[in-house]
């Protein structure tokens, strides 16, 4: 894999983020995802309204938010070593992550992002895509279990 091509076409630095999406998910998928990342990665959660911080993702907080049991918006982070992937609980039917392309500095870092996407795809048995920020239809990388497509 050529780092220069990846940097120019996937991890270009224009001030925007890259989004990682899994579409058409259920609460069961969210639970599978949370269980997996809590077991395999360093994680953290910040609940904005209370400023409470934890190091384990309690997906029940998101479920309660979607049920309108509380208004505590939260963001979780999964750490791929030095790459911070932020998870937003905006929609119940879509897992949305984002990362800062400046944190992806080499082919090795790219491989960490790709491994995370492959793991998500395998755990959820769904396609996982990396896109420019807020452009879910513009696929830069697609992973569907054992098939990977990189749009260079």
* In the chain, where the domains are located: 3-150
Domain 3-150 classification at class level: alpha beta
pLDDT digits (tens, 9 = 90+) for 70-95: 676 678 999 999 999 999 888 999 99
The DSSP element (H or E) to which 21 belongs, if any, is strand 18-23
Residue where the block lists tokens 């993702």: 57
Tokens coding 50: 């209370």
Q: Tell me, what's the pLDDT at 61?
A: 84
Classify residue 56 by burial, with Cβ atoms within 10 Å: 0-12, 13-18, 19+.
exposed
* 2 contacts: CB under 8 Å, gap ≥ 6: none
pLDDT digits (tens, 9 = 90+) for 12-71: 999 999 999 999 999 999 999 999 999 999 999 877 666 668 889 989 888 888 888 767
* Model pTM score: 0.94
Question: Strand locations in 41-124, DSSP E?
Answer: 42-47, 52-54, 74-80, 83-91, 94-99
pLDDT digits (tens, 9 = 90+) for 102-126: 999 999 999 999 999 999 999 999 9
Q: Tell me, what's the pLDDT at 43?
A: 96
């Amino acid at each position: 894999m050529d780092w220069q091509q990846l940097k120019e076409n996937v991890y270009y630095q224009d001030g925007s983020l890259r989004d990682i999406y899994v579409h058409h998910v259920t609460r069961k998928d969210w639970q599978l995802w949370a269980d997996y990342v809590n077991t395999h990665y360093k994680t953290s959660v910040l609940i904005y309204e209370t400023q409470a911080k934890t190091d384990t993702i309690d997906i029940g907080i998101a479920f309660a938010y979607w049920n309108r049991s509380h208004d505590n918006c939260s963001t979780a982070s999964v750490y791929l070593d030095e790459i911070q992937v932020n998870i937003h609980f905006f929609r119940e039917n879509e897992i949305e992550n984002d990362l800062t392309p400046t944190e992806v500095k080499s082919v090795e870092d790219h491989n960490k992002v790709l491994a995370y996407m492959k793991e998500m795809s395998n755990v959820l048995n769904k396609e996982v895509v990396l896109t420019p920020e807020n452009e879910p239809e513009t696929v830069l990388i697609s992973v569907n279990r054992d098939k990977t497509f990189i749009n260079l």
